[in-house]
Amino acid sequence: MARRALEFGFGPVVVATDDRRVADAVADLGVETVVENTPYRSGTERVAGVARLYPEAAVLLNVQGDEPLLPYQAAAGALARVLEGAEVGTAAGLLDEEGLRNGDRVKVAVDGRGRALSFFRTAASITGGSRAGLEGSVYHHVGVYAYTRDALLRWVALEPVPEEERLRLEQLRPLAYGMRIEVSVLDRPVPHGVDTEADLEAINRQFGAMSRG
């Protein structure tokens, strides 16, 4: 992802982490690194911290570290939503029955204009939106966000909301305060991130098979 971003002229590409080992692992990719031990409450807060080091950045793209198999099209789609005028852009893919039942997979309900109505893990935890709209437009949400600079800094300045903390879904905060999040929906399933130890083991096996191949 980093190499392809550089090839297409996006930049600077920054890896933000609290662990020097992560910075060392990407040292040969030609990216910048920011290592700091500030106890951020979320990935978005860490991105905002980095954004303050790059005041010229008008639009920022956050690819979360627990999404190692994120399709390039998801990142490009989230970014496109912001370049087309959205405050915040994200992405989603098709969802199967197993994913719908799995509380480790984050879902997003999207209205007919491509705007996020709600983010949730199970039907019992739905916040916002209507059940009719939910049933018709539910997708597998993936951990990528694009923001205008103003939207990012406004997001992190908002007070956390109970649903965000209860469900561990930081994107419920801007939604609760009326910020518009637009969703780029891929026409296929997308790989899930690392949500459990089993996910980590499966992805490690996949990377092992790719390296052997």
Mean pLDDT score, 114-138: 69
pLDDT at position 46 is 93
pLDDT band for position 97 (cuts 50, 70, 90): confident
Within its chain, how far is the Cα of 63 from the centroid? Answer: 6
Domain boundary assignment for the chain: 38-212
- B/e letters for 52-82, b = 16+ CB within 10 Å, e = fewer, are eeeeebeebbbbbbebbebbebbbbbbbbbb
Measured distance CA(65)–CA(46) in Å, rounded: 12
pLDDT at position 69 is 83
Mean pLDDT score, 115-143: 72
**Apex CA 192: angle with CA 188 and CA 196, to 5°?**
160
Query: Does pLDDT of 3 surpass 50?
Result: no
pLDDT at position 171 is 95
Query: Does pLDDT of 45 surpass 90?
Result: yes
Query: Does pLDDT of 31 surpass 50?
Result: yes
pLDDT digits (tens, 9 = 90+) for 145-174: 999 999 999 999 999 999 998 999 999 999
Tokens of 82: 């912001």
181's enclosing H/E stretch is: strand 181-189
Query: Does pLDDT of 7 surpass 70?
Result: no
Mean pLDDT of the chain: 86
| CATH code for the structural domain at 38-212 | 3.90.550.10
Measured distance CA(46)–CA(187) in Å, rounded: 31
